[in-house]
Amino acid sequence: MSWTFNLWPGGRPRCLTMSYDDGNVADRKLVAIFNRYGIRGSFHLNAGLLGGKNVRPKEIAALFAGHEVSAHGLTHPFLSKLPRQLVAGEILEDRRRLEELVGYPVRGMSYPFGDWSADVVSQLPGLGIEYARVVPSHRHYETPNDLLTWAPTCHHADPELLPLYKGFSERSGTGTAALMYVWGHSYEFDHAGNWKCIEDFCRAAGGDSGTWYATNIEIADYLNALRRLRVSVDGRTIFNPSAVSVWASVGPKPVEIAPGQTVVRPK
């Protein structure tokens, strides 16, 4: 038997996350739908554009409780077109203001307009950003190789949304850990008059005991914990130095490796 790292927390084979940009007031309705079906996700906000057509600063902590508030640039700029100092200011000031509202470190973001460059990416670790979502979708269920250019599975308006979910729901723990990542803007449901689309999706996707419903940063933390595992030369002994449990398969059996725990695989 050998270790296979194909499971999410709780020994689940699947993970679903949602990702929504800009903080439009339609987030209120979207969050209510997510909460109704136990769906969780990340909301990427521009702290310099709150109020008006967007959610108000005072409601953010309560509205997004149980989800993640993430950065999206202070004023929603094209980051690749800015001098480096202004890139830093856009991200750090966005983080600072959002952190004052939610009371925890803001560690992720999505790129405004989906615009990024290698130079922008290179700055992010120094600005406290641990993941960043891009726009082009790949329509598969693999985990990202690079969290700073994290591509989603699909947009919620993808005509194959429900078929993609069906394929995802059929994934078991026999292959790699399956991740479905859906993104969009909540105001798009108002513009298209298709709130039924996301209601139907969440109804189908919610309540699955084999799926971990997670925020973007929770997934990033879990993947980073997997990458930090220390393994013996013979591959049998694993030490978990992280603050979160990780899960692996040994044959058909899921095994939890708790924080600070050393586990030896049977011969």
Spell out the domain ranges in the chain: 13-224
198, two tokens: 């996301």
Assess whether pLDDT exceeds 90 at residue 4. Answer: no
Residue 227 CA to residue 75 CA, distance in Å, equals 34
Instruction: Report whether 42 contacts 216 (CB < 8 A).
Output: yes
87, two tokens: 């890139």
Query: Which residue type does 14 have?
Result: R
81, two tokens: 């077109």
Which candidate, 83, 105, 84, places its Cα nearest to that of 94? 105
Q: What pairs with residue 18 in β-bridges?
A: 41, 182
108, two tokens: 């992720």
193, two tokens: 């008059």
Q: Kindly state the percentage of the chain with pLDDT values over 70.
A: 99
* Residue 95: predicted pLDDT: 98
Measured in whole angstroms, the distance separating CA 254 from the mean position of its chain's CA atoms is 23
Residue 238 CA to residue 163 CA, distance in Å, equals 38
For 32-63, how does the pLDDT look when each residue is reduced to its tens digit (9 = 90+)? 999 999 999 999 999 999 999 999 999 999 99
Starting at the earlier edge strand, list the strands of the sheet with 246-250.
3-4, 246-250, 253-257
Assess whether pLDDT exceeds 80 at residue 267. Answer: no
Q: What is the CATH number of domain 13-224?
A: 3.20.20.370
For 64-102, how does the pLDDT look when each residue is reduced to its tens digit (9 = 90+)? 999 999 999 999 999 999 999 999 999 999 999 999 999
Assess whether pLDDT exceeds 70 at residue 173. Answer: no
* Residue 152: predicted pLDDT: 98
Maximum alpha-carbon separation in the chain: 63
Q: Is 103 left (phi over 0), alpha (psi -120 to 50) or beta?
A: left
* Residue 238: predicted pLDDT: 95
Average pLDDT over residues 245-258: 90
* Residue 82: predicted pLDDT: 97
* Residue 251: predicted pLDDT: 76
Q: Which of 2-11, 162-171, 211-220, 238-247 has the lowest mean pLDDT?
A: 2-11
- Cβ atoms within 10 Å of 36's Cβ, excluding its own: 12
Distances (CA, A) of 20 to 69, 118, 196, 246: 10, 23, 17, 27
Assess whether pLDDT exceeds 90 at residue 139. Answer: yes
* Residue 239: predicted pLDDT: 97
Assess whether pLDDT exceeds 90 at residue 223. Answer: yes
For 178-197, how does the pLDDT look when each residue is reduced to its tens digit (9 = 90+)? 999 999 999 999 999 999 99
Calculate the average pLDDT of the chain: 96
**Banded model confidence at residue 252, pLDDT cuts 50, 70, 90:** confident
pTM of the full structure: 0.96
**Banded model confidence at residue 1, pLDDT cuts 50, 70, 90:** low
Instruction: Report whether 226 contacts 203 (CB < 8 A).
Output: no
